[in-house]
Chains A and B, each alone.
Chain A
Amino acid sequence: MSRRGDWVYENNGGTCVAIAGADYCVVAADTRLSVGYNILTRDHSKICELADKCALASSGFQGDIKALHKNLAARELLYQHQHNKRMSCPAMAQLLSNTLYYKRFFPYYAFNVLGGLDSEGKGCVFTYDAVGSYERTGYSAQGTGSALIMPVLDNQLKSPSPLLLPARDAVTPLSETEAVDLVKDVFASATERDIYTGDKLEIVVINKAGTKREYIDLRKD
């Protein structure tokens, strides 16, 4: 903080998407890591499983993201020892917000989507800005391809307005397999037009049986 040079941040690109359903959550991100017009690696995971029912996908500056994930994993371990249980997804959401806001004036350059199951076993998605402002939603997209993906998710999933009274559930009506197929579709489309998205798609599906990871090939150009 005291000796901040000109070189502080870089954008390593990448796109993160999460969709919450009645009893599942899908968190997905591509595995490309780039700087400018160069690809550093085609096989870099952006998704971190922070607790048993909680996965965080982040794009932005991978240096900051690595530090952030490490920080959160350490805090989750402390929580386990103090409370003798794993952290819930909404608790992790609040912790992530606080962690981001703690660095309000020298932020983590990270755009996060947190997905998982809440204490009732319902799917939940939390979406963030770089300084910790967050919202619970039914679906979200973050990163370089978010502008391409978000209108398609709106079109297919159409969440109820947060202003409606009484408050409605934000979870999407799709089944788990339909949601996974939708994620594959939107990434295939984003990969066509966004140079920072591609190579491989990593999908984490969280349901009451546990979590499973799946990989799908995307375009490599």
Chain B
Amino acid sequence: MSIFEYNGSAVVAMVGKNCFAIASDRRLGVQLQTVATDFQRVFKIHDKLYIGLSGLATDAQTLYQRLVFRHKLYQLREERDMKPQTFASLVSALLYEKRFGPYFCQPVIAGLGEDNEPFICTMDCIGAKELAKDFVVSGTASESLYGACESMYKPNMEPEELFETISQALQSSVDRDCLSGWGGFVLLVTPTEVKECVIKGRMD
């Protein structure tokens, strides 16, 4: 079994009208055995920028720590927050540094840029960026998520509808994946507020 499937994960991000949502499951497992049910895979970089790291949990945490460190240095030097596009390039560069011994993570980056323009992107474990206008998915439940998002997503959703859509897509997808699930974490970011929500789900 692939090292990407060692802990199990599901991460998804969607774009709405002047807003975005990013969501993940909460399971941490060692292959088929569940170890924790409150594991965080979505991390805050600043108020309008978040990153979800699917794949190997230890690499996700290490990568997150390095990203926070680099972002803080940027804040000190530039006295401002990073733009999502800039941050995506930073993640990509950090990953490509380890081209021949990679972090086993597939990041999902979501943020609000200048003029509150939503930005989402994903990349592979060595930093090949993939920008999307609608939604991005990653993790062991990615195939289910592609199916669910492709059916449920529509452009220009209002925040309330976007929240419902991403939650339904996440829940129905992880229920068909053995390695992810145990509830979900959904983050809805609009220009004025951030809504964090833990959703309950099947416990198997």
Contact = CB atoms under 8 A, between A and B. Distances in A.
Contacts of A38: none
A151 B175 contact: yes
Interface stretch (B73-81, B87-95, B142-150): B142-150
B150 A151 contact: no
A82 interface: no
A190 B176 contact: no
A2 interface: no
Contacts, number: 46
Interface in B151-176: 151-152, 168, 171-173, 175-176
Most buried by B among A151, A186, A193: A151
The size bracket of the interface on B is: 10 to 19
Contacts of A145: 147
B23 to A, nearest CB: 14
Contact of A192 (B150, B152, B171): B150
A148 B176 contact: no
Contacts of A135: none
Nearest to B175: A154
Nearest to B176: A151
Contacts of B172: 151-152, 154-155
Given A148-B143, A151-B144, A155-B168, A189 B150 contact: yes
Nearest to B174: A151
11 contacts: A147-B147, A148-B146, A148-B147, A150-B176, A151-B172, A152-B148, A152-B172, A154-B176, A185-B151, A186-B147, A189-B151
A149 interface: yes
Interface in A134-185: 145, 147-152, 154-155, 185
A193 B150 contact: yes
Contact of A147 (B144, B151, B171): B144
A181 to B, nearest CB: 12
Given A147-B143, A189-B151, 9 more contacts: A148-B146, A150-B176, A151-B173, A152-B148, A152-B172, A154-B172, A186-B147, A186-B151, A190-B150
Contacts of B143: 147-148
Nearest to B146: A193
